[in-house]
Amino acid sequence: MIPPIASNFVAGETPSTALAHVDDLNQQGIGGIVNLLGEHYDNPTEADEDTLEYVRLAEMIDARGADACISVKPSQLGLDVSEELFRENLGRIIDAGECFVWIDMEDHTTTDATLDAFEHYTRETDGNVGVCVQANLKRTGEDLQRLAALPGKVRLVKGAYNEPAEIAYTDKQTVNAVYRDMLAYAFEAFDGGVGVGSHDPEMVQHARELYEQHGTDYEVQMLTGVRERAQTDLAADGVTVYQYVPYGSKWFSYFYRRVRERKENLGFAVRAIVSG
């Protein structure tokens, strides 16, 4: 059972609880990006089990008619076993339903395999797949130029992995400046849509200004349990908002990462204890 403090960040342990959370979000005009927690499997059986659950999840979303999509991690689908297994399992999920599928980005060692898989499947589905890229990686500017020529959506995040300084920007101010520049490029160059994966009010406002300038479709994506009032306010103001909705039995490592990742998340957790 997930304790109350963690349940602020995780939508239960089953697909049903996750989709019930999505139903509540939809009532507030917010969509859901549903993710089964799990990563870095070196056993094909574990990757297959999670793939099967994603297939069922896609079918449930279609049957429910929910405003929801799916987000998967490459290492969860078997990338640590082989790139072939990852791409095979990803294809099974994409083929399972009509809902949109996001491919999360993990550490820099997975970038090429992730982008290659995205390019293959977004062409095959005419854009029913999205991929995440990280502004802190020095290579991402060139990656965005490659992605601009493809259908599908791109989610731009600042980057949460502790990458080596020779391949990544490590200063917060530099990452913020690079993120702003990359958002500007994406709004100008992308036709399929831009996912603004940020809780930073300045970046969210910057995206709104870029939308007014270019008219490019975009959506703001935030996590369950983080700045939820801002999410509802944005949705009420006409901004397309999607909430990242993780669920599953492997909730502890995710919760621990969220609390360590950002100081403000620790504040949310402490307030949950005091008020709970």
Domain boundaries, the chain: 4-275
What is the percent of the chain with per-residue pLDDT over 70, rounded to a whole number? 88
pLDDT for the residue 258: 56
104 belongs to the catalytic site: yes
pLDDT exceeds 70 at position 275? no
pLDDT for the residue 256: 58
How far apart are the C-alpha atoms of 154 and 192, rounded to whole Å? 8
pLDDT exceeds 80 at position 89? yes
pTM of the complete model: 0.91
Burial class (CB in 10 A: 0-12, 13-18, 19+), 161: middle
Other CB atoms closer than 10 Å to residue 39's CB: what's the count? 18
Q: Is 271 helix (H, G, I), strand (E, B) or coil?
A: helix
List, in sequence order, the alpha helices (H) in 125-200: 140-147, 172-189
* Mean pLDDT along residues 155-159: 96
Contacts of 38 (CB under 8 A, 6+ apart): 46, 50, 73, 76, 248, 250
Give the containing element (helix H, strand E) for 55.
Answer: helix 44-64
Tokens 């602020």 correspond to 8
User: Which CATH code, of 3.40.120.10, 3.90.120.10, 3.20.20.220, 3.90.1150.10, is assigned to 4-275?
Assistant: 3.20.20.220
How far apart are the C-alpha atoms of 199 and 4, rounded to whole Å? 23
Closest CA to 247 of 270, 224, 219: 224
Q: Which of 50, 104, 143, 258 is catalytic?
A: 104
User: pLDDT tens digit string along 28-55?
Assistant: 999 999 999 999 999 999 999 999 999 9
pLDDT for the residue 192: 87
pLDDT exceeds 90 at position 240? yes
Mean pLDDT of the chain: 91
133 phi and psi angles, rounded to 5 deg: -130, 155
Other CB atoms closer than 10 Å to residue 202's CB: what's the count? 11
List, in sequence order, the alpha helices (H) in 97-171: 111-124, 140-147
Q: Are 147 and 117 in contact (CB under 8 A)?
A: no
Please, which pLDDT band fits residue 271 given cuts at 50, 70 and 90? very low
pLDDT exceeds 90 at position 153? yes
Q: Which of 50, 87, 155, 227 is catalytic?
A: 155
pLDDT exceeds 70 at position 209? yes
User: pLDDT tens digit string along 165-178?
Assistant: 999 999 999 999 99
Q: Are 57 and 93 in contact (CB under 8 A)?
A: no
* Mean pLDDT along residues 241-263: 72
